[in-house]
Structure 1
Amino acid sequence: MTTTDVTRVAAYREVTDRNGRVYRVGESDIDIMGRKRKWMVILPWIGMMGISSAEYAFASAEDTLHEAHHWSSGSIYWMMTAWVFCQAAVAFPAGRLRESGRLPARWAMMLGSAGTLLGYLSLAYAPHVSLAFIGFGVFSGMGAGMVYATCVNMVGKWYPERRGGKTGFVNGGFAYGSVPFVFIFHGYMDTSNFRWVLISAGVFLAAMVAIAGFYFRDPPKNWWPAAVDPLNPPADPRARRSLEKNPPAVKQYSPMEAWKTGRVALMWFCLACTSGVNIFGIAFQVDIGEEAGFAAGIVAAAMSLKAIVNGTGRGVIGWLSDLYGRKQCLLYVCAILGLAQFGIIWSAEIKNLPLFLIFSAISGFGGGAIFPMFAALTADYFGENNNATNYGMVYSSKLVSGLGAGMGSVVVGVWGYNGAFSLAGSISIFAGFVALFLTPPGRPKNKRVTPNPRPLGEG
């Protein structure tokens, strides 16, 4: 990484489009932070990988934790629910602190690193399950929430003209960064070595988060890339198509203004439904595979495949949303995620391993792709200046969707795996129907648009 101790001082000017939105232009990424902005994709990606195993690999450690500590399986699933709850709960207040300047991005990442380490220490040494709830469920969850919110919003600020693919790539680290730990926790860790494995994982992952976060830096408010004209179609065909399909917000909405548009509530509901289905699948795919008679190693491979596709799918759908539009891709993702749940049931019933792997991968794709869609949509609809807080409101839906693990165990106990996975699939499809009503605030509907003989920026 090439950087400098003192950033350049460059002249900038502020321009206003016909909607009244202000753009700060003239400063390059080198001028602001002494390095290319691509590092604000790579470093957040590394930070996201550092927190991913706490959610995506946790289910693989369930058997060992049960045997080593004699914690009940129900308590362990509710511990995961507590982690997801706290991860979501911290997003909104952390966003407010970040945007007020009281919590710099670097310090948010350091707090996240400390929470990550504390979580693994709790799983290794907690003498009682209640202390593990506090150490892992609360502190590790809150730390992960700070890292997640900081990384996702950071990349959106540095790439306002084509954020979909970049946001998806960074978001993907939250899934496939867990792949090695799925195998380690499920196939290598046992009651004889679990403390050593957990501590080693915690130290390594906390270091990843801390080192990546040390180099974080936000761009100025209203910043726009110097090479992209915000008032006219850009010369870069990628940026031009992305802005055509996903035009920037008409203004920088405050959290209260964003809430009053009604779009935040719609996004909140859709994300609560789809992320709940995703978390349910993470928690119970191993169990339904083992009940179907598939070998433990194969089930772990299926879970790893799910995590890989979950992560890579976030980048792919982000790139596709730049080409074809965020909302259109979101609708397809909701349908794919829902139908995949029925495919998992069917493949488990007929005990067909190849189909089980395929539908697991498809479910992983759908479950991962929803997150970058909502992260990018929030900035598209409400602007970048308050995006940490606005997305924090949307992402707080995981306070409810986190019940996908805890409540999922209750539904499985009453209805069995077939009933529970059928319900999950139906919920995702219904969320897609609700998403049909999402439209960017402040813009007329397409059918009301009249041709403009004077191109944007000419008067």
Structure 2
Amino acid sequence: MLTKRMVVLQARRCCNVHREMWSKGFKRNFKGYCAVIGGILIHLTLGNLYSFGNMMTYMASYLHQRVDPSVTYANIIWVNSFTTAAQGCFMVLGGLLERTLGPRLTCFIGCSLLSAGIMLTKFAIEVGLIGVVLTYGLLAGLGISLSYATPLACGMKWYPKQKGVINGLIVAGFGLGALGSTTFQTHYLNPHNSLPDVSGYFTEMNILDKVPSLFIVLGLIFLVMQYIGCLLINKPSDEEMKESWPRQEQESLLRDIQEERKREVEGVEEEVEQIAMTSNKSLAPELKPSQVIKNKCFHIFWLIYFFNTIAVGYINAMYKSFGQTFINDDHYLAQIGSLAAIFNAVGRVCWGRLMDKTSFRVAMRTLTILLMMLYATMPLTRYMGKFGFTLWVWMIFFTFSGTFVLMPTVIEKAFGSQHYSSNYGLLFTSQTVSGPLIAGVNQLLWSTVGYTGCFLLVSGIIGLSVIMTFLVPRGL
């Protein structure tokens, strides 16, 4: 009778233990899912940056026709350049705020600044190009910089074994953001698919009259999405991080213990020690920003990112104006940009998966070689018609998207997660140079060498990035 009672008590104890483990696991997984979903929502709004190529045609037309005739497609690109430059200047600040205020409040501040910058453009566009640069460019870029890296850091802490895929999912939101933005902008401003005049600018009153109000509508939509994302975003506690990191090994070990009750205690302890040693080996050294900036490997990453973002910024700003030179269909060009967002998003997941399966060296080398070839042949699409132009734009967006999942993942892998947001912010300082450089070079060369010369120049710059991938240490 005593034996049966002991068996019943043991069985109840086991059931309670399993129930508690399941409850903790469910709660941990639920919080992790919320963090990823919140990060995707936030990045969907940040991805409005990729709709600039579409929005630029309407902003340039409004400024050129009603405010300042000297504004052209050659200098409107300064707006986008200041956005990316602001990201580079203030991304480190976002990492510092996260460590001080926490991820939720940091994202709240950044998202509010982004939406405020967009809405204030309603008034700034009446002032002139400088006003738009300060609001749609600088202030919006500041908002992006503060809220960009935090969701990635939270996601990787929840899922340390799938960093590439998790980063790919979150930044896929950034790439996908232009899908909704571009479609909404076009149908709000140009529902009847009116064409620009022979100079390339829209002149219809119905289009130009609605340009200022669009910024208010976009800003309000983004605010709702952003605040929901901020409520969902969270990072694991120290206990949850310990449970997340060796979770697979713990589950495997638990199954072995349950199946082999007669295993020797010494053998179990030895296996636990081996698991701990394996886990510790996979952890990256925790380097502070002051240490990272002196690291040779970081300099290589910085240059790769610098060269790649030149290509990203140029196609994002100029694809539609280039297409307008031989495609007379505004809705079609807008649809190309909208659907390019899907390739941008899917590409991020695919490149993240490729890095998980191979390495950063292999994935980034493949990416840069393909991107270099696409840019070199982009001028030929004017002879391929709509199909060729569409295919090239989509392939470029698919290819360059990998930069924004491979780089954050390798930064965390090489320098650790403790100071990840700040370290990744250091990488973004390259955009303080690449952003203005794109605008300056484009303004100087566009009127002399045209689109063909500019595309070939960008292809050569990406060739430098290919060379840099051979300097990345093995094992990364």
TM-score when scaled to structure 2?
Answer: 0.78
Partner of 1:3: none
Match of 2:379 among 322, 325, 345: 345
Counterpart CA distance in 1 for 2:300 and 2:366 is: 17
Match of 1:303 among 332, 337, 343: 337
Tell me if the contact between 1:48 and 1:171 (Cα under 8 Å) persists in the aligned partners.
yes
Partner of 1:59: 53
After superposing the two structures, state which structure 1 stretch, 296-305 or 37-46, moved more: 296-305
| Structure 2 CA distance for partners of 1:75 and 1:383, relative to 1, 3 Å | same
Partner of 1:87: 87
Counterpart CA distance in 1 for 2:341 and 2:33 is: 25
After superposing the two structures, state which structure 1 stretch, 419-428 or 207-216, moved more: 207-216
Partner of 2:293: 259
| Structure 2 CA distance for partners of 1:227 and 1:134, relative to 1, 3 Å | closer
Partner of 2:223: 206
Partner of 1:24: none
Residue 302 (structure 2) pairs with residue 268 (structure 1): yes
Counterpart CA distance in 2 for 1:231 and 1:188 is: 50
| Structure 2 CA distance for partners of 1:250 and 1:117, relative to 1, 3 Å | closer
Counterpart CA distance in 2 for 1:410 and 1:234 is: 61
Identity %: 18
| 1:208, distance to aligned residue in structure 2 (A) | 1.0
| Structure 2 CA distance for partners of 1:281 and 1:267, relative to 1, 3 Å | same
Counterpart CA distance in 2 for 1:232 and 1:320 is: 24
| 1:172, distance to aligned residue in structure 2 (A) | 1.2
Counterpart CA distance in 2 for 1:171 and 1:105 is: 17
Partner of 2:62: 68
Counterpart CA distance in 2 for 1:29 and 1:134 is: 47
Partner of 1:144: 144
Deviation by residue 1:258-305 (Cα, 9 ceiling, x = unmatched): 233311111111001001101101111112111133532222222223
**Structure 1: gaps (5+ residues):** 1-26, 237-243, 446-459
Deviation by residue 1:352-383 (Cα, 9 ceiling, x = unmatched): 22121111111001121111100000011111
| Structure 2 CA distance for partners of 1:323 and 1:395, relative to 1, 3 Å | same
Partner of 2:101: 103
Partner of 1:168: 168
Partner of 2:44: 49
Counterpart CA distance in 1 for 2:218 and 2:164 is: 31
| 1:122, distance to aligned residue in structure 2 (A) | 2.4
| Structure 2 CA distance for partners of 1:152 and 1:355, relative to 1, 3 Å | same
| Structure 2 CA distance for partners of 1:419 and 1:387, relative to 1, 3 Å | same
Counterpart CA distance in 2 for 1:406 and 1:207 is: 36
Match of 1:282 among 289, 292, 316: 316
Counterpart CA distance in 1 for 2:244 and 2:229 is: 27
Counterpart CA distance in 2 for 1:274 and 1:325 is: 18
| Structure 2 CA distance for partners of 1:373 and 1:161, relative to 1, 3 Å | same
After superposing the two structures, state which structure 1 stretch, 275-284 or 324-333, moved more: 324-333
| Structure 2 CA distance for partners of 1:377 and 1:230, relative to 1, 3 Å | farther
Q: Once superposed, what is the RMSD of the aligned Cα atoms?
A: 2.6
| Structure 2 CA distance for partners of 1:227 and 1:58, relative to 1, 3 Å | closer
After superposing the two structures, state which structure 1 stretch, 66-75 or 85-94, moved more: 66-75
Tell me if the contact between 1:252 and 1:384 (Cα under 8 Å) persists in the aligned partners.
yes
| 1:143, distance to aligned residue in structure 2 (A) | 0.6
TM-score when scaled to structure 1?
Answer: 0.81
Secondary structure of the residue aligned to 1:390 is helix
Counterpart CA distance in 1 for 2:238 and 2:473 is: 25
| Structure 2 CA distance for partners of 1:89 and 1:30, relative to 1, 3 Å | farther
Residue 369 (structure 2) pairs with residue 335 (structure 1): yes
**Structure 2: gaps (5+ residues):** 1-22, 190-206, 254-277
| Structure 2 CA distance for partners of 1:46 and 1:258, relative to 1, 3 Å | same
Match of 1:368 among 391, 401, 405: 401
Residue 212 (structure 2) pairs with residue 217 (structure 1): no
Partner of 2:392: 359
Tell me if the contact between 2:93 and 2:146 (Cα under 8 Å) persists in the aligned partners.
no
| Structure 2 CA distance for partners of 1:88 and 1:234, relative to 1, 3 Å | farther
Q: Mapping of 1:4-19 within 5 angstroms?
A: none
Counterpart CA distance in 1 for 2:297 and 2:401 is: 21
Residue 457 (structure 2) pairs with residue 420 (structure 1): no
Structure number with the higher helix fraction is 2
Secondary structure of the residue aligned to 1:175 is helix
* Equivalent residues, number: 402
Tell me if the contact between 2:53 and 2:319 (Cα under 8 Å) persists in the aligned partners.
no
Counterpart CA distance in 2 for 1:223 and 1:438 is: 33
Deviation by residue 1:170-222 (Cα, 9 ceiling, x = unmatched): 11111211112213324531212223322111101122112211232222469
